Structure 1
Amino acid sequence: MPRRLVTPHRAILTATLSGLVLLGGSMLGPARATPPETPVGAAAWLADPLAPPDPVTAGPARVAAFFAGLAPADATALARRFPQITGNLDGVPTRLRYLANRLDHPEAADRQILGYDDSADGRVIEVLGDLDTADRVVILVPGVDTDLAGFDTGLGGVQRRAPAWQARQLHDRIRAGEPGARVAVVAWLGYDPPEGMGRDTVREDRAATGALALQRFTDGLVLGHTGRSIVVVGHSYGSIVAGLAAPGLPAQVTDIVALGSPGMGVPDRSGLRTGARVWACAAPGDWIRRVPGVRILGLGHGRLPSDPEFGALPLPCDDVDGHDGYFEPHTAALQALADLAATHPDGDPR
């Protein structure tokens, strides 16, 4: 049997990670998700006469049931009293989350904001399209160095890196091809991505925390929408979030896409333990292709999904420029994503 060649990059990273294994310490071991923080105002919320559910422990179904049992005036009044909690709580009706975030962040009053937190690096979730009537929802999960400050402008002022811009490109392309398509696109900065190329980027703790948030978010999206299907698109480190979330995503998530992915935290497609179709691509000039697909004691992210041996379906991206160009208007990748979003769950965008 011919010997498998080991690339210099793979050999170097393997040796480096092996050295870290010998050093030991807190860097090693499985990914550890951080429990959700108690939101500001939670004590007053729990003491409210309407007896709302605990925002930390109650799942979207429990939250939705509570709001369904309120008179409309009471639900609106609660959103006005506690906009920070209502505006970020999965299971709260869409219109109330929009209202709460308009009240709490009037500078974004002309946008459909489904979540907003300006503490630390910040979090924000923006919707394009009519989420309440959408039959298909596309969730874009961004990667390393994405924060609230760059949500509209992109890391380093490079617009094509901005989640809001990427979501607009995809939504516009969907509308151009299928004007009547009932599709919503969500730019989901619902977790805290790592910064730079340090410890947090090599490990998956941030991704594990983000995966729990993504599972909760998608659980909320399917409540009351039995015919709805969902596409999750993870770019770069965001694909690790999607990969770790995959086993716990609702069955209505029919497609998971990994763009420019350093790995999904598993050795191959079967490790995702999902019935969803899994798609992947890495542009010819994307530096992510040089990342070795190794994983040793919690360091590294496993085989790249763009590697045919991973087992993902290939998405076209030969004309994509670099690591951040997947949503540029002229690319085959953007068209394929639009086709995937606008088709039935069993449609093929290739």
Structure 2
Amino acid sequence: MAPSPPRSHPRRNLPRAVRTLLAALVIAAVTVPMAGVARPSAVPAPAPAALAPLRAATAADLADRYAVNRGSVLAAERMATRHGDDKRAAALRGLADPARHFFSFDGRDGGRSVEVFGDLSRARRIAVLVPGAGISLDRYGRLRAGAVALRREMGDGAAVIGWLGYETPDTVSRASVTTDRADAAAKELRTFLAELQRAEPNARTSLLCHSYGSVVCAEAAPGLTVADIVLYGSPGTGVDNVAALHTPATVWAGRGGDDWIAEVPHVQLRLPFVTLGFGTDPVSPEFGARHFAAGDGGHSDYLKPGSVSLENIARIVSGRAPAEEGRHA
């Protein structure tokens, strides 16, 4: 859920020549080496405590799991403090709040976490949020804010899970326009969803995929037994159409009117040793997804309280049809 560029007017009104230039700049940014740019060294963290597979999402079993993972967060916080990384240590202290509930946590290699919002033991509707580029333990606030807003919008009997189960690419990087990170993430997502289904076999589960998270969901989609796959702010999925996802789920797609992702070229450019881009635009008729109105928001506004997109995503996850454009509560 990367930040939107500064907005002065909707991107859809830009002249074609300017849109072409923007597309060229995106490709140049990810194919030309960026001299002098170095990734920060990883903050050390201990291996997390081993977790037994969750067979049933009872309140007692979940409480035990949350307590174990809180211990792993605190162990990572202590190591970050000893390492002298005050920013990471502060972020981890926030995650260790007893009111926070982590289904899993691993502070190594930038961090992985799966956080539960709501009472999973009683949930009959579950939304799993898969974030896009630029999200990490140090930049976690936007994912959490969106999950909290969606949980509130969905009401009683619902739970939202923020699935930061992979190393997201930087917003402007070659990794953000290839499937490399998604290939590795998809296996982890499938494993998590299988465990969730065993623990909550009667819940209606939907997969919500933002930006690069759409690519992760597409890689994981074949055979997934989820009710819906919702793509929003998507640069593409790496496949040509819904049929190529090989999923029984209902596939939805929406884009805000001021989302800069619309200007990213929906192509696949095959170069030696790498393919850039993700192909067909998910909101296009050619892709074949069901469309939902997402209002006029930008790339980071889909789960913003009071937004058209938040209302419609909550309706979809609850098994209801999204409201038509201009007809919202």
TM > 0.5 between the two? yes
- State the 1:339 CA deviation: 1.5
Alignment CA distance shift 1:11-1:293 (3 Å): farther
Question: What is the aligned partner in structure 2 of residue 329 from structure 1?
Answer: 305
Q: CA deviation at 1:121?
A: 1.9
Match of 1:309 among 271, 286, 295: 286
Please report how far the alpha carbon of residue 90 of structure 1 lies from its aligned counterpart in structure 2 after TM superposition: 6.6
**5+ unaligned residues in a row in structure 1: which ranges?**
1-6, 22-38, 42-82, 153-161
CA deviations on 1:89-114 (whole Å, 9 max, x unpaired) are 67695333212112223533221111
Partner of 1:288: 261
The DSSP-based 3-state class of the residue aligned with 1:338 is: helix
Against the structure 1 CA distance between its residues 116 and 108, is the aligned structure 2 distance closer, same or farther, given a 3 Å change threshold? farther
Deviation digits for residues 17-64 of structure 1 (CA, Å, limit 9, x no counterpart): 7xx99xxxxxxxxxxxxxxxxx966xxxxxxxxxxxxxxxxxxxxxxx
Match in the other structure for 1:342 = 318
The AA in structure 2 aligned to 1:215 is R
Distance in 2 (CA, whole Å) between partners of 1:14 and 1:261 is 19
In structure 1, how many angstroms separate the alpha carbons of the residues matched to 2:167 and 2:54? 17
Which of 85, 93, 97 in structure 1 is aligned with 2:50? 85
Distance 1:199 1:15, change over 3 A: closer
Q: 2:250 aligns with which of 262, 274, 277?
A: 277
Structure 1 residues 223 and 137, CA gap change in structure 2 (3 angstroms):
same
* Shift in CA distance, 275/103, structure 1 to aligned 2, threshold 3 Å: same
Picking from 291, 295, 299, the partner of 1:318 is 295
Equivalence for 2:108: 119
Name the amino acid aligned to 2:163.
W
Name the counterpart of 1:135. Answer: 124
Q: Rate the CA distance shift 1:86–1:226 in 2: closer, same or farther, 3 A.
A: closer
Residue type of the alignment partner of 2:110: D
Counterpart code for 1:116: F
**Residues 338 and 260 of structure 1, relative CA distance in 2, 3 Å threshold:** same
Greater than 4 Å deviation, 4+ residue runs: 7-17, 89-93
Change (3 A) 1:91 1:119: farther
> How far does residue 16 in structure 1 lie from its aligned partner after superposition?
9.7
- What is the 5 A alignment of 1:38-187? 84-86=49-51, 93-106=61-74, 107-152=96-141, 162-175=142-155, 179=156, 182-187=157-162
1 CA distance for matches of 2:198 and 2:257? 40
Indicate the residue corresponding to 1:243 in structure 2. Answer: 218
- The one-letter amino acid paired with 2:160 is V
CA contact (8 A) 2:178 2:277 kept: yes
Once residues 143 and 133 of structure 1 are traced to their aligned partners in structure 2, the CA distance between those partners, rounded to angstroms, is 28
Q: 1:223 aligns with which of 198, 206, 210?
A: 198
Q: 1:90 to 1:245 in 2, by over 3 A?
A: farther
Q: Equivalents in 2 of 1:168, 1:11: separation in Å?
A: 37
Deviation at 1:174?
Answer: 1.4
Q: CA RMSD in A?
A: 2.8
Query: Residues of 2 paired with 1:169 and 1:13: CA distance?
Result: 33
Report the residue type matching 1:170 in the other structure: L
Give me the whole-angstrom Cα distance separating, in 1, the residues matched to 2:106 and 2:284.
37
Q: Which has the larger radius of gyration?
A: 1
What SS is found at the alignment partner of 2:286?
Answer: helix
Larger relative contact order (Cα-Cα within 8 Å, sequence gap ≥ 6): 2
Given that 2:54 and 2:199 are in contact with CA atoms closer than 8 Å, whether structure 1 keeps it comes out as: no
In the alignment, the residues of structure 1 paired with residue 124 and residue 164 of structure 2 have an alpha-carbon distance, to the nearest angstrom, of: 22
Structure 2: distance between partners of 1:90 and 1:12: 47
Q: How many Å separate the matches in 1 of 2:302 and 2:175?
A: 24
Give per-residue Cα distances to partners, 1:137-187, cap 9 Å, x unaligned: 1001111110001112xxxxxxxxx11110000111112xxx4xx211011
Residues 139, 231 of structure 1: 8 Å contact kept: yes
- Secondary structure of 1:115's aligned partner: strand
Q: Which runs of 5+ in 2 are unaligned?
A: 1-15, 32-44, 75-95, 324-329
- Residue 335 of structure 1 and its aligned partner are, at CA, apart by 0.6
Instruction: Give aligned-pair identity as a percent.
Output: 34
SS in 1 for 2:222: helix
Partner of 2:277: 300
The change in CA–CA distance for 1:183 and 1:132 in structure 2 (over 3 A counts) is same
Determine the C-alpha separation between the residues in 2 that align with 1:274 and 1:246: 6
Match of 2:7 in 1: none
1:196 CA drift (Å)? 2.9
Contact 2:51–2:65 (CA<8 Å) still a contact in 1?
Answer: yes
